Amino acid sequence: MSSAQQAANWAKIEENGDRYNLQYRTAEDDRVRDEHQALAGTTLPPSDPFWNSYYPPNGWNCRCTAVEVRKSKYAESDAEEAMKKGEAATSQIGKDGKNRLEIFRFNPGKEEKIFPPEHPYQPRGCNGKPNTLQGMPVIVLSADDDKCKAKTEIDKIWKKKRKKKQKTIREEHLRSMQPLLKKNMIRYVGNNLHIKIGFSKKGNKHIVDDFLNRTSGLSKKDLTKLHSTLKGAEFIRSSELYKDRSDNIQKFYYFKDKEKDLYYNVAETERKLRNGKVLLDRFLYSITNDMPIKK
């Protein structure tokens, strides 16, 4: 129940990105474990890796939670120190030498799972995997079979919600980026060549997919400021394609953000006019964390 509640909370937190910080809070009574109390007040951006492993619940019957707080109201915690405290809160070595609390080092909202893979509540023998309960009484096997059926239904619900949520978020970002379609700039790209770079619906859709699924270090606000960001980015190089593409892209120009580990990839396409002339269109197509490999 706690995992489900925290997963729902995370969905709301994700909508705001890093606009607010996230603060770890306990139930503040005499039942709070010392290890969890040590985490109380930990304040970090939602994008910080700390929340990947130590977003509550962090143990059996854990009542801790994480709430959004204004950045101006609370000082940000030391991320390295927070990770050490989180590790301590989720460490309980059994007689077999295994950490019994390691299963709680996951974020149910990010992973969209109530239980991590090795959690004892996770049903066995699902999806064609061998059932580790072979030889157990029929009533136990029947119960495990019911868990598999329940897991299948839960997974369907998660998938449906994720698809609907992604669509809503994508449409929201594309709306916020619409003003970019009217903007363009002139950039020098070497060899005495200046090119005109703009934005397109096709490129914006690809950029939103990068933001949602592949590229880290971007915020919602960054998406609306791409014109000024690209204008100030450093030109790295251009690259001809080593194989044909179905989307008519003929070439790429690569720019490096001067403040963040981000690369802006500008695509070049050809347009043939009725009079036989060829026009070149250049638009921001994608944003990556790594420089594309030179072919």
Distance CA 166, CA 14 (A): 11
* Extended strands (E) in 27-71: 43-44, 65-69
The model carries a pTM of 0.52
For residues 144-172, average pLDDT:
73
Q: What is the pLDDT of residues 237-294, one digit of tens each?
A: 999 877 778 888 989 999 999 989 999 999 999 988 888 898 999 999 999 998 876 5
Distance CA 51, CA 106 (A): 8
Torsion-angle region of residue 143: left (phi > 0), alpha (psi -120 to 50) or beta? alpha
For residues 147-157, average pLDDT:
67
Distance CA 55, CA 133 (A): 31
The H-assigned helical ranges of 62-200 are: 79-89, 108-111, 138-176
Mean pLDDT for the chain?
85
**According to the model, what pLDDT value does residue 289 have?**
92
**According to the model, what pLDDT value does residue 135 have?**
41
Segment among 103-107, 192-196, 224-228, 250-254 with least mean pLDDT: 103-107
Q: Does 8 have pLDDT greater than 80?
A: no
Torsion-angle region of residue 270: left (phi > 0), alpha (psi -120 to 50) or beta? beta
- Name the DSSP letter for residue 198: B
Q: Does 128 have pLDDT greater than 70?
A: no
CB 108 within 8 A of CB 65: no
Which candidate, 288, 294, 285, places its Cα nearest to that of 260? 288
